[in-house]
Amino acid sequence: MSIIASNFKTNHTRESTSFFVKEVNDFLVSNKISDDVYIFPTSTSLDSFDTVSNLTMGAQNAYATVKGSFTGEIGTEQLDEFGIKTILIGHSERRHVLGESQEEIAKKFAFYKELGYKIIYCIGEPLEVKESGLEQTLEYIYEQFAGIDTNYENLILAYEPVWAIGTGVTATNDDIRIIHSTLKSQIDKPLLYGGSVKVANVREICELDGVDGALIGTASWNIEDFKQIIENTKDL
Ligand code: PGA
């Protein structure tokens, strides 16, 4: 059984999100698919969706607070309104585009862990680190675990090399195998791969040893493609 997650990033509206969620839900039901599927819409598109138990809605981000004065952020008061208990933490765009530090990320992790949220925690190295070698790459990735409780029971990890995200350049099977087997030997948690996963390569990637599923951006935003992705991995 694979874990398939769609990260909408800054895409889709309330209306198109609602259509998308219903389509995915109906697809899972009518094909009796037991994959664990996650959808992370924009925070303006969160809602109380009626879904089967293996389709979970999550937040792409939230602040480490119940409520308060944090302009532009949301807290658990807003997530509770829709029964959201799943969150992405440490995504590369939050680290490298929005400038979240490891310290802030660890604080956010601890806050949501305390509340029992399911956390999909992302790690991954930029191109210059990859080019400096495997040892440096692993060292960089391990630093992204600073302050993170990797024994947390509700934790899923996602290895997403920064150079593969949104670039169309997927990591090679060897790249994925080596990082996944190393991480798996040290942290016994489900581990997804992310970074230019597509309809055409999702099965091959999810079949690799040490890969428990995929976290997908671009290729997941089209409903027909996302259904095909689920179809292609449903028996793994
Ligand atoms: P991508 O994004 O599939 O567009 O490469 C993956 C991600 O950022 O989770």
pLDDT digits (tens, 9 = 90+) for 156-207: 999 999 999 999 999 999 999 999 999 999 999 999 999 999 999 999 999 9
Beta-ladder partners of 18: none
Q: What share of the chain is helix, strand, coil (3-state, %, to 5)?
A: 40, 15, 45
pLDDT digits (tens, 9 = 90+) for 73-105: 999 999 999 999 999 999 999 999 999 999 999
CA-proximal residue: ligand 1, atom 3 (nearest): 217
Q: Classify 158 as helix, strand or coil.
A: strand
| Mutate which of 196, 201, 202, 206 for ligand 1 pocket (most atoms within 8 A of beta carbon) | 196
Q: Classify 212 as helix, strand or coil.
A: coil
Distance 139 CA to ligand 1 centre (A): 23
Q: Is 207 left (phi over 0), alpha (psi -120 to 50) or beta?
A: alpha
Mean pLDDT, range 133-161, rounded to an integer: 98
DSSP state of 202: H
What does the pLDDT read at residue 218? Answer: 97
Distance 165 CA to ligand 1 centre (A): 5
What does the pLDDT read at residue 140? Answer: 98
What does the pLDDT read at residue 187? Answer: 97
Maximum separation of any 2 CA atoms in the chain, in Å: 48
- In this prediction the pTM is 0.97
Beta-ladder partners of 192: 158, 213
Residues in the chain: 236
What does the pLDDT read at residue 1? Answer: 82
Q: Would the CB of 232 count as within 6 Å of ligand 1?
A: no
